[in-house]
Structure 1
């Protein structure tokens, strides 16, 4: 079974890209789908209705959705494998630009909207830098010059990444992505899958529920305004 992990900010067009992937592989790839979100999601219901594939969702609630996605990934792989799926597609909530969800033994796809601003790739560097391919959606809504600037910003983050420019609703320009997915290797051993990137090295006291403002009230990894980098406060 292949593992595809699709990440990107909200409204970038992740589900539109996934629809095109399912259309391409629904007869040969036996896709299954898992949506990870925080409060509400409807993509699983829509894909079940449209394609009849196995699909489900999971809500993170008070947990970071990208953290929870990693926690449930092995269960998701067992679920999809038990159904005989040939491709498991994970759609992340896309809310965390630091904790990218890509793993070893997966094909990572970063989805970006061309209308989000030319500097957008620079603001979400890890999500692009650790991906196998970058899909730029809504390219029909910008000029050729804007496309070139956007593409160069992606190259500044990841010089060798494959870039696919598309109108994802219609699926134009996605042939290379489908070829890359077809060539992507399958999972060899789910028990040895790990994150590609390094998670944050510390948990701050805000993450565990402390409400006071000001670094003076917090411990662990903190950041005063005039410090150039994180510092550690406490025992």
Structure 2
């Protein structure tokens, strides 16, 4: 499914948005997690002893300790120590899916199975697993995020000359008080057969389904620096 075509695009129409600028940077190796416990209870104790108040976990839009434990078990994140405090490190593929107008596809909002909604405002993204190469995650990201609206036979063209490695550190809405460092592998791509008007996708989840609302946007400076602070 994945086709890598660094210097070409599926569309030759002049873009109505600003050109995306990027610098190629070599990927870095992934270190081991500082947390080596075997239960979610041990994880909670480790977080509390390393400066993280977990009393709000599982309330509102915050995820639970068990979800964080599962995430680390899947190697979707690691837990480190920085300055004596716990630090969550997440490697992310941020895929700028571009249409023929030069607009970028953005995830605007998620509606959870229980009816709660989360404002997102991020490009299509996927957590990388362990030291997974970002190229291997492109097809998985498109299939998981957009598969419910794409026909069979859709094509992906990755524009590898737009690749850029970014890092950003902030608090995550999912895990309050736990500083998260995002290592972002950002690259642009063309994907055929995506609706050109706002649309929604659906993914099965325990207790129902996750609905995601998508929109096309021109890439402003604010959007270029936006990262996954809700993840």
TM over 0.5: no
Structure of higher RCO (CA pairs closer than 8 Å, 6+ residues apart): 2
Normalized against structure 1, the TM-score is what?
A: 0.23
Report the TM-score, using the length of structure 2 for normalisation: 0.23
Structure with the larger helix share: 1
Question: Structure 1 or 2: larger strand share?
Answer: 2
